[in-house]
Structure 1
Amino acid sequence: MPSGKLDGKVAVVTGGSRGIGAAVATRFAEEGASVVIGYRSGGEEASELAAKLEGSGARCLAVKADVASPEQTSALFDRTVEAFGRMDVLASCAGINHFGGLQELTPEMANQLFGVNTQGQLFAAQQAARHMTAGGRIILTSSNASRRSIFQHTLYAASKAAVEAMVRCLSIELGQRGITINAVAPGATKTDMAAKNAVKYQPPGLGLSAEEWLSLSYALDHVATPAEVAGAYVFLAGDDAGYISGRTLQTESCVF
């Protein structure tokens, strides 16, 4: 049951129109936060979610912003402070996936992946911190792919591993201002992106279905739901995580 852990806080959730981001926005609102849902292309979904959360008594706003654009990212946080008067929590959930062999990779692919997954999160953290005071919470999103050897998943894994390095280094700088920064590294989660790519995570030639492979790969007996993963963001956003910074929280143990 919600316990008001985020009462009075103002939170921005990038990539908040669907998947893990939508679940995080929902949980933040349930815990008492005013929530800004950042989205790039899911305008209808973001507006519907904002209306649903407002109908439940939360203050909520949907704002279009492509995190690959530093200018749009800056405007997102300016709009947040304009609407709600402060900025307390960032949950950076926007991201894109990629599979491809070494000889197929192009500079354009690398620029796109790192532009969203790495640079997009770096500048979201920068702009959030610009408005935060002591007690601020920045939560980025990595992936368990950053620690695993996955066939033809090089660009994505590298873009997420860089996020964990940023979190470690920025924890020192932001800690001087009383702001924590951490990351969540989800495993397999029931999202549109996972449904499209789940079968690709197994070694080549194994030939299992996505469900068979996932059931063998993780310690728990089911693939996570976005709501289950969102709990990690709620924890890191709250007072109980006030002395945790520079860390990456994995949501589930990978067997393989």
Structure 2
Amino acid sequence: MGALTGKTALVTGASRGIGRAIAERLAAEGARVGVHYGSNDDAAKSVVAAIQDAGGEAFALRAELGVPGDAAALWAEFDRHADGLDILVNNAGIGLLAPVEGVQEADFDRVFAVNVKSLFFITQQALGRLRDGGRVINLSSATTRIAMPNIVAYSATKGAIDTLTLTLAEALAPRGITVNAVAPGIIETDLNPWLAIPEMRATAESWSALGRTGTPADVAGVAAFLASDASGWTTGQVIDVSGGSALGNGPSAKR
């Protein structure tokens, strides 16, 4: 039996990248996993199939985030497959590559709608489904402590998530529900295609104290710990998963 046997989890944005890795890791630990996705049916089906082929349990649910009624639509889909929740992983998010002077208002609204507003209301509407002793895991970013001027609005959304993590941890503590965040650094996913350029990859690797970029599995391992009983005395924390990026040799040190 795995550490999460008998648990039901929901991972938002689980059709690719970090979300997929987390969904597959939680399933490998025994959880039945809801694989949320926004639009790519084939990608979501691939995740479910991979989990089932490995002997796990999973189901897909589609809901577009960042639009009115997104949280209600997501939970309506979830309720068709499950009657309760033990683990909520708020992974879904979008990026916005632009310096402060280049951020357009519509883009600003969109990144906050997806990364912050949907997370807030998904969590709010999870509370009636989330069992006492449950887990909420939010995806933050190392950019909340490392100045990255070209993704300023995106970084601001992750700062909001850190604050929500802290306050939700206090609010849900009487029910034994822990709330933590995971803050990845530069991870090898399709959201970072520039890592295929040798010079840029070398620069990214130089920022990490461990001398490499991260993988989705690096993040999934921490998420699996936070989802387990072993993390029951850990709440309100933002756990850095950046390989020690910018501990003295990061972007600011290169100026």
TM over 0.5: yes
Name the residue aligned to 1:169.
Answer: 167
TM-score for the superposition, normalised by structure 2:
0.91
RMSD after superposition: 1.8
Please state whether the residue corresponding to 2:18 is helix, strand or coil.
helix
1:179-190 alignment to 2 at 5 Å? 179-190=177-188
Please state whether the residue corresponding to 2:2 is helix, strand or coil.
coil
The reply to whether residue 211 of structure 1 matches residue 201 of structure 2 is yes
Cα deviation, 1:207-247, whole Å, max 9, x if unaligned, reads x8211111210011321110121001101000011111111
Find 2:99's aligned residue among 80, 98, 101.
101
Give the Å deviation of 1:17: 0.2
**Equivalents in 1 of 2:131, 2:189: separation in Å?**
34
Find 2:219's aligned residue among 226, 229, 235.
229
The reply to whether residue 254 of structure 1 matches residue 245 of structure 2 is yes
Give the Å deviation of 1:15: 0.5
Percent of pairs with identical residues: 34
Give the Å deviation of 1:189: 0.6
Name the residue aligned to 1:60.
Answer: 58
Q: Residue type of the partner of 2:199?
A: S
8 Å contact from structure 1 (residues 89, 137) kept in 2: yes
Give the Å deviation of 1:70: 5.7
Name the residue aligned to 1:89.
Answer: 87
Give the Å deviation of 1:105: 1.7
Name the residue aligned to 1:23.
Answer: 21
Give the Å deviation of 1:44: 0.8
Point out the more displaced range, 97-106 or 5-14.
97-106
Q: Residue type of the partner of 2:128?
A: R
Extract structure 1 runs of 4+ deviating beyond 3 A: 196-199
Please state whether the residue corresponding to 2:175 is helix, strand or coil.
coil
Name the residue aligned to 1:245.
Answer: 235
Q: Residue type of the partner of 1:33?
A: A
Give the Å deviation of 1:76: 2.4
**Equivalents in 2 of 1:37, 1:69: separation in Å?**
19
Cα deviation, 1:111-148, whole Å, max 9, x if unaligned, reads 11111111121122112222112111000111001111
**Equivalents in 2 of 1:75, 1:228: separation in Å?**
31
Name the residue aligned to 2:189.
Answer: 191
Q: Residue type of the partner of 1:251?
A: V
**Equivalents in 2 of 1:182, 1:98: separation in Å?**
24
TM-score for the superposition, normalised by structure 1:
0.90
**Equivalents in 2 of 1:192, 1:48: separation in Å?**
16
Point out the more displaced range, 146-155 or 162-171.
146-155
Gaps of 5+ in 2: 251-255
**Equivalents in 1 of 2:172, 2:87: separation in Å?**
14
Gaps of 5+ in 1: 200-207
Point out the more displaced range, 3-12 or 161-170.
3-12
1:5-24 alignment to 2 at 5 Å? 5-24=3-22
Q: Residue type of the partner of 1:23?
A: A
Find 1:126's aligned residue among 124, 127, 133.
124
Name the residue aligned to 2:38.
Answer: 40
Name the CA shift for 1:220/1:47 in 2 (closer, same or farther; >3 Å). Answer: same
Name the residue aligned to 1:153.
Answer: 151
Aligned residues: 246
**Equivalents in 2 of 1:65, 1:51: separation in Å?**
19
Name the residue aligned to 1:203.
Answer: none
Give the Å deviation of 1:18: 0.2
Name the CA shift for 1:196/1:96 in 2 (closer, same or farther; >3 Å). Answer: farther
**Equivalents in 2 of 1:196, 1:213: separation in Å?**
11
Q: Residue type of the partner of 1:40?
A: G
